[in-house]
Structure 1
């Protein structure tokens, strides 16, 4: 096991640091970038869980037959795994925790959860990313060289869109021709073979050591688009399951629309968000199990988490069943509370699927099957809309039909994942149900609780605002439902961009390419401004039309249209805050963004929201004014920190952090006298 003392980083060579200390907003970063101690050591809980499972799973049904000695079985499996995983060192293609969809960022970092473990698909993407940068820097020639036109239009086009570094170092308007200037364009050369992966990685390492790797904003923009688009589609598909129920219920009446907002927000805070937070520990455990070569442990970890979540849902189900008296205290209209309680009671049927999906998506994601959840949603989301129509209107179930449609969809999604694993790919990590899944709950709980607490703290503000909207009246609560849906839809564009930015920045920092990481950060911030401006434009121009998609009540639509103007301004800060936190996460300093979020939500946004809504009688507009101000404060804090950060120091500390997180577990096996294998 590699040990690392969390001491100060090694000194940086003067010549190198002079060229790399700049800021995001003005050629980046002076001074130092202090990183929290939690990022300088891997969690001992992770090592404890893996060590115990490796020891306990050394049984004949998983490692060999009774006639096979334990030591030879383990030795042969390890050798096979080493041969199978003999791939070049991956640097540039690790996927983030939120890639499947919607697990979100914890507000405060969880110790030991930022160590990615490569799988063959990620290694392949890493090699392709390295190859792209090598070709951009003319270290490896392109496979199909083309003649370079010297016309002004061609030079302008290359300067604007080419990812080749040389095209941006050359002047668009070169001087007069000389004796060595070619009179005709260079002839096209023969196609060149692509070097093998080992050679690509070797050349990339040499180029990084020689500090000759550069990037362009065009390359980084193309990469962020490539990373973001699939995530945006997946996030929107997942949220459409909720949107389908809201759209159906909104046609039933104002009270029903208010009730569904109260019910879904209560379900999120008491079930969805805690489940997501607890399941974040699988991002590390499943990936580490896969990386260790013991694939059956991937299924065991996912199975254990599923049982744990199902057990924790029993008291939540009881709370939902008897929730009507509690909700009646929160909202003035008893009918809305009764309907919200009905929604929650029906929704209990979907709780097993929620837990199974959170574990299942990490089960497939750890194997590099990142699109499986998207495939499931491509079936589940349209099915959700169809079931809402059938249950609410065709069968006449009304409000309860929307809850039933959502519950069935939540159980359908994990079943689709199971079918994919069973019929297509991923079954190599599943050894069937095991009693071992009911052991070692203590260490896993210890690892999972921080994620749940931090994510819960971040999202609880929305529940408080929903309760406050309920105190303003049923009409205001119904309008709140419309506004929450619209702002959630719009957030599903900058948040995937933030995940993509976090991934790319972390990869470049890990490869010690701090200059390239700064370029990515600048592109991401510019993209956030563009996305936020686009959302602002849509909200401002369609503010009277958007609410009509959710409700036919004129009073609700009128209130929502006024609040949407406030939310339009919020879009800029919402996008900036999301992307800034993604950059901080990429450089290993998400603690700054996490604490900034907690400070801004509870000490800025919440007091302003409540005071303007009730003391100044701005009502729902006041609630969202506070949120807008809070997001503005978050953006200022995070961008200010990035302005002062030292990315060269971040790159050095990232290497130290990864070195400290190399987990090597040695387990000795012996054959007991009864012939069974044991630890």
Structure 2
């Protein structure tokens, strides 16, 4: 792709007229003075939001499919809400974490290959990922089939376990949709083709909301109607995205189905597994919070209140994952193109915006703290429990918005293995035990469990900031070149 821009700064029109941003533009020079800083910040902001805007909308829309079903479930009954919360958060959430995590290997490989101009490999990478994730889905399906005994084993009540177990069986088609959806997402994302994903997700969200209202409340089919609609909505997204890919809109990145997708699978499995472990440990973290709530007094109230808070936190986290997706594209593209200073500056810009957005969300939550619980549940006891947890929820919004952006930098640079070890230490060796001590030993209840686990997130975020600050980005660019060649 030719680029006639002589300076290292692209205009907004340049951004809109180019398929991607690494192009042949040289790496940015060292920042020299406040005017240079402001100018470069404006350029990088435009590049970031060009990607982040549609990415945020797409992730929020796709997450909202389950969240909307859960919201309607709150108006069906407390047991129904608790059962769907467990099935959606524990069973489907466990699988979602694995699928998104393993597919995130494509963010490193496709992003760096695209930056280096090796477009023909993107389609092969996507097909390899789909093969691996479909095989993983066959294995994960047993968790859905035996969901009831699994939930009983980890201490959930008889009523919730049986209701959630029946629901999990109906959610199996959604599992296989994950296996195709997320590799396709990463394939399109690496090429900055995020707008089409947002259009498809918007259409799915509108259909899902209307059909959920119709089947769950109007036709009185309850949660079973909601789960059927949820399966339909996910497969609608998968089919629409695949139709776009095979239509020829991706150019050299898609040259059709290839037997090459079955070669070198083991090397791909290793990176996918490392990516899966890294992201799963993050996504499962607050699922653990809901599980522990099942051991508290007034279990249905505790689980319902926490599920509403984690529902809201999940929506906010999807915004953060939008930043995660955009910065992984920026970092991987720039490292693949041999632009280490641009990659580093992109990281700084995304952290600043993540913090600003998080503070705005926390302020909005504070303004409407006496009103929003009624949207999610009719029970006054549940509403009061949610209101009491609002300060912790607001603090979590801020911390959980910065951390995924830094994780996106890690994915773009290919640090998945190292970050997985950090996640294990901060979350599960430190955060979870501290939460159990505060919640059960010191009898702080839900607030204690949440406080301990949030402390683990804070420590992990501090470590990520330290790693990013000390990274030799020139060396990372060289390693990206070696990875692509291999």
Counterpart residue number, 1:552: 378
Across the aligned residues of Structure 1 and Structure 2, the Cα RMSD in angstroms comes to 3.8
Q: Does 1:572 align with 2:398?
A: yes
Question: Does the 8 Å CA contact 2:97/2:280 hold for their aligned counterparts?
Answer: yes
Q: Offset of 1:579 from its aligned partner? A: 3.8
Residue 253 of structure 1 is matched in structure 2 by 77
1:135–1:553: structure 2 CA closer, same or farther, 3 Å change rule? Answer: closer
| 1:255-292 superposed Cα distances (whole Å, 9 cap, x missing partner) | 11111111012234542222223333444666788878
Q: Tell me: CA distance 1:319–1:502, structure 2 relative to 1, closer, same or farther (3 Å).
A: closer
Give the alignment partner of residue 372 of structure 1, picking from 186, 196, 208: 196
308 and 621 in structure 1: CA distance in 2 versus 1, 3 angstrom threshold: same
Query: Who is 2:234 aligned against?
Result: 410
Q: In 2, distance between residues paired with 1:619 and 1:466?
A: 12
Partner of 1:421: 245
Find 1:632's aligned residue among 455, 458, 466. 458
Match of 1:602? 428
| Map of 1:477 onto structure 2 | 303
Instruction: Report deviation, 1:332.
Output: 4.6
Give the number of the structure whose residues are more often helix, by fraction.
2
Equivalent residue runs for 1:52-91 within 5 Å: 87=1
* Cα distance change on mapping 1:574 and 1:307 into 2, 3 Å: closer
CA contact (8 A) 1:333 1:474 kept: no
Shift of 1:490: 1.8
* Aligned equivalent of 2:485: 663
**Matches of 1:654 and 1:266, distance apart in 2:** 36
CA 1:505 to 1:607, structure 2 compared with 1: closer, same or farther past 3 Å? same
In the alignment, which residue of structure 1 is the partner of 2:37? 215
Q: 2:134 aligned with 1:333, yes or no?
A: no
Shift in alpha-carbon separation, 1:522–1:273, aligned structure 2, 3 A? closer
Match of 2:322 among 493, 496, 500: 496
- Tell me the secondary structure at the aligned position of residue 174 of structure 2: helix
Alignment of 1:219-230 (within 5 A): 219-230=43-54
Contact kept in structure 1, 2:340 and 2:477, CA below 8 Å: no
**Counterpart position of 1:397:** 221
Displacement of 1:557 after TM fit? Answer: 1.3
Q: Does 1:133 align with 2:9?
A: yes
> Which is higher, the Rg of structure 1 or of structure 2?
1
Equivalent pairs counted in the alignment come to 472
Which one of the candidate residues 233, 237, 240 is aligned to 2:61? 237
TM norm structure 1: 0.61
Task: Note the residue ranges of structure 1 that are not aligned, 5 or more in a row.
Answer: 1-86, 89-123, 137-141, 144-193, 195-199, 665-679
Conserved? CA contact 2:413–2:480, under 8 Å: no
Quote how far apart the aligned CAs of 1:571 are.
Answer: 2.6
Q: Which moved more, 1:614-623 or 1:302-311?
A: 302-311
Quote how far apart the aligned CAs of 1:588 are: 6.9
The answer to whether structure 1 residue 361 and structure 2 residue 237 are counterparts is no
Query: CA–CA distance in 2 between the matches of 1:438 and 1:336?
Result: 42
* Distance 1:404-1:627 versus aligned 2 partners, 3 A rule: same
In structure 1, C-alpha distance between the alignment counterparts of 2:414 and 2:134, rounded to whole Å: 33
Find out whether 1:653 has 2:475 as its counterpart: yes
Flag the 1:464–1:517 CA change in 2: closer, same or farther, 3 A.
closer
Structure 1 equivalent of residue 20 of structure 2: none
Q: Would the aligned equivalents of 2:338 and 2:478 in 1 still touch at CA under 8 Å? A: no
Deviations 1:24-43, CA, capped at 9 Å, x for gaps:
xxxxxxxxxxxxxxxxxxxx
Instruction: Report the secondary structure of 1:234's partner residue.
Output: helix
1:414 deviates by 0.9
Unaligned runs of 5+ in 2: 18-22
Equivalent residue for 1:306? 130
* Cα distance in 1, alignment partners of residues 129 and 481 from structure 2: 28
TM-score (norm 2): 0.82
